[in-house]
Structure 1
């Protein structure tokens, strides 16, 4: 029994990254200065030259290596290993943060910033009063 390995199809990887970024072929084409049909042709190509991959990677906001090493299985593994949902409750979206805690943290941070601002104003008033006394 032999197993055939999938070819390293660079066009499919580009198409999948583009889709994951929420970008349409037309947008990628416009950014690259080519037609949408050219992008379609690129995404059907099994290989591309390094210079073209570099330009595409820049537009997609990833590195050239990220395109070359892109793996759908790796993405699924990352999602599977980091996102868990407890099915014991009726509605659970897998939220890992407590919004109320975040709100309280934000409130405390704002309070500290306000106190620093008040202290800076007090220091400024003291400094100006000292300048007036010297005159």
Structure 2
């Protein structure tokens, strides 16, 4: 009897599809970015194995790391987003940019953005009310 838990094999094509979908990118848009067809992206997403070079190209086009695709979790809420801060033109030398990997919970980010938007709207209402009071007073 085996006591060690068996690891489920990674289905990289499925991970590509789920990452692409989570980021709101259509197959056709990814295909255009990679200079291929939507049908080819569909085929890749059905493959269990994806070669490293293809995976790197897809990751770059999606703005994530290949590791983020490989390690995509079932919950799909935590992403490793790679941001490149480059103050020069696109395609400039690698030495001119800083790479950072960020982890975030998408739901928390949505709530955070909603709260900020709500606060901003309340401030606008207060400002408009003050302006109306000032106009009424004159």
TM superposition score category, shorter chain reference = 0.5 to 0.7
Match of 2:58 among 56, 74, 80: 56
Distance in 1 between residues matched to 2:18 and 2:76, nearest whole Å: 13
Match of 1:15 among 14, 17, 20: 17
TM-superposed deviation, 1:67: 0.9
Change (3 A) 1:102 1:50: farther
Q: Aligned-pair distance for 1:96?
A: 3.4
Report the counterpart of residue 99 of structure 1 in structure 2. 120
Which structure shows the higher helix fraction? 1
Higher strand proportion: 2
Counterpart CA distance in 1 for 2:52 and 2:8 is 21
Task: Decide whether the 8 Å contact of 2:22 with 2:76 is kept in 1.
Answer: no
Task: Show structure 1 runs of 5+ residues with no match.
Answer: 86-93, 104-135
Cα 1:75/1:36, change in 2 over 3 Å:
same
Structure-1 residue corresponding to 2:29: 27
CA RMSD of aligned residues (A): 3.4
| CA spacing shift, 1:11–1:66, aligned 2, 3 Å | same
Question: Hey, which bits of structure 1, 4+ residues long, moved more than 4 A?
Answer: 2-5, 100-103
- Aligned twin of 2:68: 66
The structure whose Rg is larger is: 1
Shift of 1:100: 5.8
CA shift for structure 1 position 73: 2.1
Distance in 2 of aligned mates of 1:99 and 1:53: 41
CA distance in 2, matches of 1:101, 1:67: 39
Deviation at 1:54, TM superposition (A): 0.5
Q: Offset of 1:7 from its aligned partner? A: 2.2
Are 2:17 and 2:45, in contact at CA under 8 Å, matched by a contact in 1? Answer: yes
